[in-house]
Structure 1
Amino acid sequence: MTTETQKLTDLKDLRGTPMAPAASATAEPRIDAQGRAYATGKRKNAIARVWLKPGSGRIQINGRPSETYFARPVLRMMIAQPFGVTQRVGQYDVVCTVVGGGLSGQAGAVRHGISRALTFFEPGLRGALKSGGFLTRDSRVVERKKYGKAKARRSFQFSKR
């Protein structure tokens, strides 16, 4: 077997050469022995541990259905966004545990965890989730209070006399 070496003089010469496959095409699904994908999502001070498996679309958070845990419709819509973007509504069951933060931060953490678990289950969905901004961890947290200040940045009221 003879290998031919080609001299490239222009970028157009690359058209006929075989290219290396893209990283998303070679990525293997990360699924455990029970057929689940696991991911961790974070937002503010909330941390969500998410397990995703094929099912009927049930979402369970800390042992309770999402309708009772997240009573506000905006929060339920937020955690369903990754499924809507990838056209996978009602195809996966989600079981997650969330600790820390408030309800808004917890919903953001669950959404981040679901998005990461979806990419572990189906690596081909990474592009759609990445372009939607669901894989980026929102790093904004509450600024700490400083000494000599009323809050993080607010000073006490100044009195001239």
Structure 2
Amino acid sequence: MSQKDDISNNGELNVMNKKIIDRGVIQVFGKKKTAVAVAHIKNGSGMIRVNGRPLTLIEPACLRMKTLEPLYILGSAAVSKINMKISVKGGGKVSQIYAIRQAISRGIVAYLHKHADENAKRSVYKLLASYDKSLLISDPRRCEPKKFGGPGPRARYQKSYR
């Protein structure tokens, strides 16, 4: 199957129309700063829950679109036959949102790697990476700890000579 066969005219993926054999649960995670989202993916009806609540009820509402980005990019067919249960801990609201969207993206790619062919996985990976690299790859930046002799990690207290 070529990349052109994987993506239809309206942008939705055709790889999920194949017969899928249940081989257990796939576990992936997404990280942003100290927030960690763990996603459990298995065959199902397209249900995505975050900490027991539907994905559409995520707060704050202004960041809800960020969690839905992988679904908009790939189309509804990409997740129509899988269920995701995501549990997220740590960090703040924004970091949790970014961890959730990374877990969703990685989960779809891992599911295709296990249940579909390699070309389908590669095309989805390239599509997500071309949109936003942080959908698949963790951001290594962390907060630098404070040091002595100043108010922060780099700034120093003012020096007086008299």
- 1:139 corresponds in structure 2 to 140
Partners of 1:52 and 1:114 within 8 A in 2: no
Q: Do structure 1's residue 87 and structure 2's residue 112 form an aligned pair? A: no
Question: Normalized per residue, which structure has more helix?
Answer: 2
CA root-mean-square deviation: 2.6
Q: TM-score of the superposition, structure 2-length normalised? A: 0.66
Provide runs of 4+ in structure 1 moved above 4 Å: 157-161
Q: Is 1:98 equivalent to 2:99 in the alignment?
A: no
Q: Larger C-alpha radius of gyration, 1 or 2?
A: 1
Look up the SS of the partner of 1:52 in the other structure: strand
Once residues 56 and 38 of structure 2 are traced to their aligned partners in structure 1, the CA distance between those partners, rounded to angstroms, is 18
Structure-to-structure mapping, 1:121-136, within 5 angstroms: 121-123=111-113, 124=120, 125-132=124-131, 133=133, 134-136=135-137
Using structure 1 for the length normalisation, give the TM-score.
0.67
Please, which runs of 5 or more residues in structure 2 have no aligned partner? 1-19, 114-119
Q: Does 1:52 align with 2:13?
A: no
Deviation at 1:63, TM superposition (A): 2.2
Quick one: distance in 1 between partners of 2:56 and 2:111? 25
Q: How far is 1:67 from its partner?
A: 4.7
Is the counterpart of residue 113 in structure 1 residue 120 in structure 2?
no
Question: What is the alpha-carbon distance in structure 2 between the residues aligned to residue 160 and residue 60 of structure 1?
Answer: 61
Question: What is the aligned residue count?
Answer: 129
2:71 alignment partner AA: F
- Gaps of at least 5 residues in structure 1 are 1-28
User: What's 2:13 paired with?
Assistant: none
Per the alignment, residue 8 of structure 1 pairs with none
